[in-house]
Amino acid sequence: MSVIEEKYDVCVVGAGHAGCEAALACARLGLDTIIFTVSVDSIAMMPCNPNIGGSSKGHLVREIDALGGEMGKNIDKTFIQSKMLNKSKGPAVHSLRAQADKVAYSMEMRKTLQSTDHLTIRQAEVSEIMTDRQMVIGVKTFSGAKYFAKAVILCTGTYLGARCLYGEVINYTGPNGLQPANYLTDSLRDNNVEIFRFKTGTPARIDKRSIDFTKMQEQLGDEKIVPFSFTTNPDDVQIEQASCWLTYTNEKTHEIIRENLDRSPIYAGIIEGTGPRYCPSIEDKVVKFSDKDRHQVFIEPEGIHTNEMYIGGMSSSLPEDVQYKMYRSVPGLENAEIVRNAYAIEYDCINPNQLLPTLEFKNLKGLFSAGQFNGSSGYEEAAAQGIIAGINASMSILGKSQLVLDRSEAYIGVLIDDLVTKENHEPYRMMTSRAEYRLLLRQDNADLRLTKYGYQVGLISRERYEWILKKEKLIQDEILRVNSVTVGANKDVQEVLESFGSVPLNTGTTLAELIRRPELSYENLGKIDPDRPKLPAEVCEQVGIHIKYDGYIKRQIKQVEHFKKLEEKKIPENFDYDEVDSLRIEARQKLKQYRPISIGQASRISGVSPADISMLLVYMEQQKRKGKVEGKNHGV
Amino acid sequence: MNTDTIAAIATAMSPSGIGIIRISGEEAFSVIDKIYRAKNGKKVLSDQGSHTVHYGFLYDGDEIIDEVMVLIMRAPNTYTREDTIEIDCHGGVLVMKRILETVLKNGARPAEPGEFTKRAFLNGRIDLSQAESVIDIIQSKNDFALKSSIDQLRGALKEKIKNIRAKIIHELAFIESALDDPEHISIDGYDKRLKDEIEDILDEIEKLIVSSENGCILKEGISTVIVGKPNAGKSSLLNVLVGQERAIVTDIAGTTRDILEEQINLNGITLNIVDTAGIRDTDDVVEKIGVDKAKACVDKADLIIYVVDSSTNLDINDMNIIEMLEQRNVIILLNKSDLPKRTTEKEIRNYFSNKIISVSAKDRTGIEELEETVKEMFFQGELKFNDEVFITNIRHKNALLCAKNSLEMVMQSILDKMPEDFYSIDLMSAYEELGGIIGESVDDDLVHEIFSKFCIGK
C-alpha cells in the first residue's frame, strides 16, 4: 500500500481565525499553501460569542486590516449590528464592535479561501509534525499521508486533546461537538514542546421564539456605521441592523447556582485546566462577587437565518437540568427553550515563551504557531497572531527579514510580546490597559501605523500605500496650518463660541488653542476658519485628535523614543549567558529560558533587574570591542 | 544609548571643603541654564566655550542656594562622552543635597548606582581592560543601594507607601474596567470622586515629602553601636549622651525593635546609636535572639563604642566581645571610673590599639573626651557618613516629588474635562514612582486588580 506524499511551501494546521489569516498571508505572498481542518464546514467558525471587535479587540482587527489581513473585510460583509464603544471617552479607547451573522461570516471566509490562488483546503486531522534535527519538515495526517513543507503553522485552537463538560457529562469533542485532535499533542511532547492545559466556556443558545423580549431593554446599533476595514466604503455598510437585548440575573438565579455548585465540574474539581478571569462563568461571578445582587445578561442574535440567541454573561458548566432552571429564572427567559447547552471546554496549548516574537519556535526551526494554541483567547487575538505567523513563515522561506511589531507600534506587538515574554497562566485576552502607549495606538490610526509594513511584506498594494503617504502629508500640513492660524476676538468668533457654550475671547489666540477647549473641536470651528482646505473626513479626524491631545501625545512620543533605544539593542541569537559572570542566578536562568531578542525584551522578563541589564550591556560592549580587536588581528 | 540626563553627588558626603555635583546627558546644559546665574546676571552657560569654569550663584527659583564654580564640558571630550556639567559648591552635606535636589527638579534624574562609569564605558571612553572593574562598580553599588533602599526603609513608611499605591491602583482598575467593559461598568460622574481621592493622596504624599526633608526616610548619620556585657553601664551612658547633647530622639511608629535606637548630635556630627542587649554567653533562647541581633548590629556599624565595666574583671563575655571587634572602628570606654578599678587600661591594651577613655556615666566625667575623639576620627576620615543613605534619601524624595507631580497632572486633566482614559496615564506614572521607593515594580498589578475587584467580561 502506498501513502500519499505531497509537497508544499507551507502547511497550516487549523482553519479557525488564526489559520485563515496565516494561510491567506502565505498564499497571497505566492507560496504554495495547504490548510488542514477537521471539518471544511467549520472554517472561520465562531463557537462562542457572535461578535467581532470590542474594547481593544477592535484595535486588533483594524491592525490586521492595515497589514493586509482579512478579518475586517469579512466582518464588514457579514455584520448585522455595529457599535463604536466608549464614544464619550478619549479617541484611544474608542472601539468598534460588530455583531456577526455567524454562518455568513464562516461562508464568506470560506469563499475567500477558495478563491485564493496557491491555497489548498484539505479536510484531515494532522496527527504528527515531522522533524529533522530541530527543523520541521512537514506534517503527517491520521490516515498516514505525508505533507512535506518548508514551514508549518500550528493554529489548532481549542481542538487539541479537547473535552467539553457540563455537570457530570463529559464529551470528548472539540467545540460545537466537532472532532477533536487527539494525537498531535504527543508528537509535540516528543519534540520537547512544553504543553499547558487551559479551559474556557460558552453560554447556552436559546430559541428566539421562546424569549419574551418585552421584559428586556433593546440595544440598538449606531446610527452611522463605521466599517472595520480601511478599504470598505462607509456608504456600503449602512444596513438595517438587528437588535440585541439586555436583561439581568436576580437573587433567585444566584440561589439556584449556589445550591448546585457541587455539581459544577470546576467546583467539583473535575476540570484541571486554567480558566480566564476576564470571562468568568456565571458560577464564578456569583461566588466571587457575592455582594452583587444582579448581573447583566446580553441576548445577542447568532445570525439572520437562525433562531438561536446567544446568552452573553451566562456561560456555565452546570448540569443540563440546572441550566434550564437558571436561565428560566431570568426575566424574559421564563419559557426559554435551549437549543445548545452551555459548556466548558478544556484543551491543550503551549507555554508561549517557547516562541520567538516572530511566532517561530526557538527550538524547532520552521515551526510557527498562532491563536489559542499559543495560550490566547478570542477570535481577534487569534487572527492577529495568524497574520504575523503567516507573514514570518513566508519571509523566512523567501529569505527576507521577519516582521516583529513592537509595543509602541501596535496592539499586535503588545499581544505577542506579552505572550512570549511574560508568565502566562490563563488564556490571554487583549485589553487597552495592557498597551502602555495606547494614546498612540488608536484604532483610528492603525492604517497610518502599519500600512507600510503590509506594503513591505507584499500584502498591501502600492496604491493603498501611496494613499497613506499622501494622507500623512495632508495631516501634517493641516496641523501646521491650524497651529499658525490666529483667531481675533471679533463678533463673529464670539458668536460661534457662544453657540457652543464656550467662554468668549479677551484677546486673539490660535485656532489650535480653541480646539483644545473641551467643548470645541476641529470640526465645529469650521465657520471661523475661512481658509480651511477641503479635506477627507479621515484626515480631519487625525488633525482634530493631534491638536486636541497634543500635550499628552508628545509626552508618549518621548517615552516611546526612550523605549525604542532598548528595543533596538539586539542580543545575538546564540548569546551565552553563562559567560556573563556578574548576572544573578535567577536572572541568568530566566534569560537562558526566554532567550530575548533585544535588551528591551530582556528588561521585561520578571526576575531580570535593571542591574542585570546593565551587566548585559557592559558585557555586550566588551564582546563587541574584543571582536573588533580580533577582527583587526585577523586582517593583518 | 541612554540619552536622558543624570545627576549625582560626585564627592563623599562629608563636611569637607568642597562638594561636586555632576550632571551628564543631552539636557545637562538646559538644566544648568535654569538654575545658574552669573554675578552680572547676563552670562548663559550654554553659550560658553567647552571646558571653561564659571563663577556664579545657584538658584532654586528665586532663592540663592550657594555660591559656586561651574565647570562646563561638551561631548565628546568628557568622562561619559556626553555633555557634562560639574558644580563645585561648598562642602556641607545639606548644601550638596539641596543642590542635587534642585538639579533633579529641573530636568535630570538621579543616576543609577555606577551609571556614570557605565556610560563612560558604553560610550567608548573607558578601555576594555577596565571592563571588569566597571562591572564590579555597578554590582557593588547596586548591592548596596538595594540593601539600603529596601532593608533600611522603616516599616511604617513602607506601609504608608503601600497603602497609597493600593488606593491608586484601585482607582486605575476601576477606570480600566469601565473602559474595557463599558456596557457593564459606568464611569459617569466619577471625576468628582477621583478628585477627592487624589486630594487625600496628595496630602499624604505631601506629609511624606516633609518628613523626608527632616531626614526621616532613612536615618542619615554614622551608624554607631554600644556593646558591653550586661550591667557594664551602656544604657546609662546613652542616657548621658542623649541628655547632655540635646539629643533628637526619633520615635518612629510601626517598627518593633528589641534594640533601642537613638539619634544624637555631637558637635554637628550625627550618630545613630543602637543600644544592644548585653552580650553574654547564654543558652536562654529569648536572650540569645537579642545577642544575635547585637552581633548583627556590630557587623553593620561604622563605629562601635565598647563599654567595659572597670569595676569587674574581664570575663568570658568580654572575650567574646573583643573577638567580635577585631579590626573595627572601636572606642573603648572604661566605665565606672568612680568605683575601685579591677580592669585597667593596660589590660585592655593587650587587645586593642584603639582609643581608650576612662568615663563615669554616673559622674558624667570623660564624656567630653569621647566627643572630641569622635570628632577627630570623623575629620581624619576614619569615620564616614554612609553616602548611599543620603543618596537613597534624595532618590526617595525625588520619587515622591515625581509622584506628586503626576497626581497634580491628573487633577489638571480632571479640571480640563479630559476623558477618563487620560487620567490613567498619570495615575500609572505615580504608581510606578512610588513603587520605585519600596522596590516594587508594576508587572501585572493592574490586570490583577481589575479581575479581582471588578466583575467584567462576557
Nearest CB to B419; choose among A55, A89, A295: A89
What percentage of chain B carries pLDDT values higher than 70?
Answer: 77
Q: Which three cell numbers stand for residue A45?
A: 467558525
Quick one: how far is CA A412 from the chain centroid? 7
Structure letter (DSSP) for residue A533: P
Could you give the CA distance from residue A557 to residue A445 in angstroms, rounded to a whole number? Answer: 15
* Residue B83, in any domain of the structure: yes
Q: Select, from the ranges A218-222, A629-633, B133-137, the one with the highest average predicted confidence (pLDDT).
A: A218-222
The verdict on B154 and B187 lying in the same domain is yes
What's the mean pLDDT in A91-108?
97
**HSE of A178 in the Cβ direction (CA atoms, 13 Å)?**
24
DSSP letters spanning A318-371: S-HHHHHHHHHTSTT-TT--EEE--EEEEEEEE-GGGB-TTSBBSSSBTEEE-G
> Do B82 and B185 fall into the same domain?
no
pLDDT of residue B279: 59
| Structural domain includes residue B343 | yes
For residue A422, list chain B residues with Cβ-Cβ distance below 8 A. 444
Mind listing the pLDDT tens digit for each residue in A315-365?
999 999 999 999 999 999 999 999 999 999 999 999 999 999 999 999 999
Reading the block at residue B18, the C-alpha cell is 568642597
A55, A276, A569 ranked by CB distance to B181: nearest: A55
Looking at the complex, report in whole angstroms how far the Cα of residue B265 sits from the nearest Cα belonging to chain A: 36
Q: Is residue B276 part of a domain?
A: yes
Contact call for A285 and B444, based on CB within 8 A: no
Distance, CA of A386 to CA of A20 (rounded, Å): 7
Q: Which of B128, B182, B425 sits opposite A626 (nearest CB)?
A: B128
Cell of B397: 524624595
Is residue B173 located within the same domain as residue B295? no
Sheet containing A367-369: order of strands: A119-123, A33-37, A10-13, A151-154, A367-369
B179: nearest CB among A432, A555, A565: A432
Say what the pLDDT of residue A6 is: 97
For residue B413, give the chain A residue with the closest CA: A552
Cβ(A546)–Cβ(A480) under 8 Å?
no
Please state the pTM of the whole predicted model: 0.85
Give the pLDDT band of residue A635 (cuts 50, 70, 90).
Answer: very low
Name the residue among B418, B447, B458 with its Cβ closest to that of A431. B447
Test the B interface: residue of A57, A81, A86 with most B CBs within 10 Å: A86
Helices B190-213 and B155-180 cross at an angle (nearest 10°) of: 160
Cα–Cα distance measured from residue B33 to residue B102, given in angstroms and rounded to the nearest whole number: 12
Q: Are A546 and A521 in contact (CB under 8 A)?
A: no
Pair A78, A163: CB distance under 8 Å: no
Test A614 with B444 for CB contact under 8 angstroms. Answer: no
Q: Hey, are the CB atoms on B443 and A606 less than 8 Å from each other?
A: yes
Rounded to a whole number, what is the distance in Å from the CA of A157 to chain B's nearest CA? 19
B456: which chain A residues are within 8 Å (Cβ-Cβ)?
Answer: 278
C-alpha–C-alpha distance, residues A340 and B50, integer Å = 79
- Overall average pLDDT of the B195-224 stretch: 80
For residues A371-389, average pLDDT: 97
Q: How far apart are CA A360 and CA A151, in angstroms?
A: 10
Q: Which pLDDT value is given to residue A324?
A: 97
Cα–Cα dist A526/A515, whole Å:
11
Residue range A151-167: average pLDDT? 96
Nearest-Å Rg of the Cα atoms of chain A is 27
What is the percent of chain A with per-residue pLDDT over 90, rounded to a whole number?
A: 86
Return the C-alpha cell found at A585: 542566578
For residues B411 and B427, is the Cβ–Cβ distance under 8 A? no
DSSP 8-state secondary structure symbol assigned to residue A185 = H
Q: Do the Cβ atoms of B112 and A432 come within 8 Å?
A: no
For residue A121, what is the enclosing H or E element?
A: strand A119-123
Residues of B in contact with A625 (CB under 8 A): 128
A414 near B CB under 8 A = no
Partners of B122 on chain A (C-beta within 8 Å) are 617-618, 621
Contacts of B139 in chain A (CB under 8 A): 582, 611, 615
Q: Are residues B455 and A611, on separate chains, in Cβ contact within 8 Å?
A: no
Residue A390, SS3? Answer: helix
Nearest CA in chain A to B135: A615
Question: What span, in angstroms and rounded, lies between the C-alpha atoms of A458 and A391?
Answer: 9
Contacts of B39 (CB under 8 A, 6+ apart): B55, B56, B57
Identify the closest residue of chain A to B116 by CA–CA distance.
A614
What distances in angstroms separate CA A132 from CA A135, A361, A464, one per listed residue? 5, 14, 41
Dist. CA B248–CA B238, nearest whole Å? 13
pLDDT at B336: 85
Residue B434 lies in a domain: yes
Residues in B closer than 8 angstroms to A90, CB to CB, are 418-422
Distance CA A310, CA B12 (A): 70
Confidence of residue B420 (pLDDT cuts 50, 70, 90): very high
What is the per-residue pLDDT for B254? Answer: 30
Same domain as B375, residue B228: yes
Task: Pick the closest to residue B16 from B75, B76, B96 (CA basis).
Answer: B96
**Best B180, B186, B426, B445 residue to mutate vs chain A (most A CBs within 10 Å):** B180
pLDDT of residue B204: 92
pLDDT at A266: 81
Asked if residues B52 and B58 have their Cβ atoms less than 8 Å apart, the reply is no
Tally of structural domains, chain B: 3
Candidate from A298, A432, A566 with C-beta closest to B180: A432
Query: Which of B93, B109, B126 is the C-terminal boundary of a domain?
Result: B126
Q: How far is it, in rounded angstroms, from Cα B65 to Cα A626?
A: 47
For A152, the 3-state DSSP assignment is: strand
Residues on chain A touching B417 (C-beta within 8 angstroms): 518
H or E stretch covering A506? none
Share of chain A above pLDDT 70, in %: 98
Which CATH number is B153's domain given?
A: 1.20.120.430
Interchain pair B458, A431: CB under 8 A: no
Average pLDDT, stretch B46-65?
A: 91
Q: Where are the beta strands (DSSP E) in A465-612?
A: 486-487, 509-510
Which 8-state DSSP code applies to residue B75?
A: T
3-state SS of A9-55?
CEEEECCCHHHHHHHHHHHHCCCCEEEEECCHHHCCCCCCCCEEECC
Interface probe for A, chosen from B126, B412, B455, B456 (most Cβ of A below 10 Å), is B455
Of B110, B126, B142, the residue that ends a domain is B126
Distance from CA of B354 to the nearest CA of A (A): 38
Same domain for B136 and B122, yes or no, is no
Q: CA B425, CA A372: separation in Å to the nearest integer?
A: 30
Interface membership of B326 toward A (CB under 8 Å)? no
| Residue B380 identity | Q
3-state secondary structure of B103: helix
pLDDT at A62 over 70: yes
CB-nearest to A90 from B182, B421, B447 is B421
Q: Do B43 and B56 share a domain, yes or no?
A: yes
- Cell digits for A165? 463538560
Is B446 inside a domain boundary?
A: no
Rounded distance, CA B316 to CA B330, Å?
19
Return the beta strands (E) in B42-143 as ranges: 52-60, 63-73, 84-90, 109-110
* Residue numbers in B near A581 (CB within 8 A): 135
The residues, ordered by sequence, that sit 6+ positions from A297 with a Cβ below 8 Å of its Cβ are A246, A247, A248, A249, A311, A312, A313, A314, A330
Residue at B67 is within a domain: yes
* B62 Cβ contact partners less than 8 Å away, ≥ 6 residues apart: none
Name the minimum distance, in Å, from the CA of A519 to any CA of chain B.
9
The CATH number assigned to the domain holding B97 equals 3.30.1360.120
Rounded-to-integer distance, Cα B369 and Cα B358, Å: 9
- In this prediction, residue B451 carries a pLDDT of 79
Contacts A295 to B, Cβ<8 Å: 455
Kindly state whether A124 is in contact with chain B, defined as any CB-CB distance less than 8 angstroms.
no
Q: Which one, of A110, A140, A138, A136, lies nearest residue A126 by Cα?
A: A140
| Residue A177 predicted with pLDDT over 70 | yes
Judged by CB atoms closer than 8 Å, whether chains meet at A433 and B134 is answered as no
Q: How far is B78 from chain A (nearest CA, A)?
A: 19
Asked if residue B169 belongs to a domain, the reply is yes
**CA dist B140 to A398, B129, B305, B343, Å?**
48, 19, 28, 42
Query: Does the CB of B420 have a partner CB in chain A at under 8 Å?
Result: yes
Q: How far apart are CA A154 and CA A45, in angstroms?
A: 17
Per residue in B152-180, pLDDT (tens digit) is 555 667 788 899 999 999 999 999 999 99
Q: What is the pLDDT of residue B283?
A: 61
Residue B418 contacts A, CB cutoff 8 Å: yes
Q: B253 and B138: one domain? A: no
Q: Is A87 on the interface with B (CB under 8 A)?
A: no
Q: Which three cell numbers, joined as nine digits, stand for B136?
A: 564590579
Q: Which of A89, A566, A618 sits opposite B135 (nearest CB)?
A: A618
Predicted confidence (pLDDT) at residue B195 exceeds the cutoff of 70: yes
Name the residue among A433, A436, A606 with its Cβ closest to that of B176: A433
Residue B384 lies in a domain: no
Q: Are A160 and A184 in contact (CB under 8 A)?
A: yes
Note whether B179 contacts A93, CB cutoff 8 Å.
yes
Least confident of A208-217, A343-352, B103-112, B122-131: B122-131
The Cα of B273 is separated from the nearest Cα of chain A by a number of Å equal to: 32
Q: Which of A431, A402, A404, A426 is nearest to A417 (CA)?
A: A404
* pLDDT computed for residue B194 by the predictor: 95
* Chain A residue numbers touching B144 (CB-CB < 8 A): none
**Are the C-beta atoms of residues B458 and A297 closer than 8 Å to each other?**
no
Return phi, psi of residue A323, to 5°.
-60, -45
Q: What is the arithmetic mean of pLDDT over A585-593?
A: 93
Domain end call among B78, B94, B126:
B126
Range of the domain at B290: 221-379
State the pairing for strand pair B355-358/B330-335: parallel
- CATH number of the structural domain spanning residue B261: 3.40.50.300
Three-class SS of residue B339? Answer: coil
Question: Cα separations (Å) of B392 from A14, A69, A272, B190, B217?
Answer: 55, 51, 47, 37, 9
The verdict on B184 and B290 lying in the same domain is no
Please compute the mean of the pLDDT values over residues A145-169 and round it to a whole number. 96
Closest chain A residue by Cα to residue B414: A518
Q: In Å, how far is B153's CA from the nearest CA of chain A?
A: 20
Q: Which three cell numbers stand for residue B224?
A: 554607631
Same-domain pairing of B234 and B288: yes
Instruction: Give residue B284's pLDDT band: very low, low, confident or very high (50, 70, 90).
Output: low
Top-ranked range on mean pLDDT: pick from A79-83, B123-127, B181-185, B203-207: A79-83
Is A631 in the B-facing interface, judged by CB distances under 8 Å? Answer: no
The more confident residue out of A551 and B282 is: A551
Identify the pLDDT of residue B91.
72
Do A88 and B421 make contact, defined as CB atoms within 8 angstroms? no
Q: Which residues of B touch A622 (CB under 8 A)?
A: 128, 131
pLDDT for A633 beyond 70: no
In what order do the strands lie in the sheet containing B36-38?
B36-38, B52-60, B63-73, B84-90, B18-24, B6-9, B109-110
CA of B294, closest CA in chain A: separation in Å?
30
State residue B142's pLDDT score: 58
**Phi then psi dihedrals of residue A156, to 5 deg:** -85, 0
The answer, yes or no, to whether the previous bond of B76 is cis (omega within 30 of 0) is yes
User: What pLDDT score was predicted for residue A556?
Assistant: 93
Residue B429 at interface with chain A, using a CB cutoff of 8 Å? no
Q: Is A411 helix (H, G, I), strand (E, B) or coil?
A: helix
Helix, strand or coil, per DSSP, at residue A413: helix
Angle at A273 between CA A386 and CA A605, to 5 degrees: 60
Q: What is the mean pLDDT of residues A449-478?
A: 98
Pick from A532, A556, A561, A555: which is nearest to A544 by CA? A532
| Residue A430, phi then psi, degrees to nearest 5 | -70, 145
Q: What is the mean pLDDT of residues A111-126?
A: 98
Q: Nearest 5°: CA angle at B122, between B117 and B125?
A: 70
Q: Are residues B197 and B274 in the same domain?
A: no
Cell of A330: 431570568
What is the C-alpha to C-alpha distance for residues A450 and A391, in angstroms, rounded to an integer?
A: 14
Asked if B81 and B48 count as a contact pair (C-beta separation under 8 A), the reply is: no
- Chains A and B form CB pairs within 8 A to the count of 124
Q: What is the CA radius of gyration of chain B?
A: 27
B351 or B169, greater pLDDT: B169
B441, B204, B112, B27: CA torsion to nearest 10:
110
> Are residues B358 and B250 located together in one domain of the fold?
yes
Q: Which residues of A touch B450 (CB under 8 A)?
A: 278, 431, 433
Residues B174 and B294 reside in one and the same domain: no
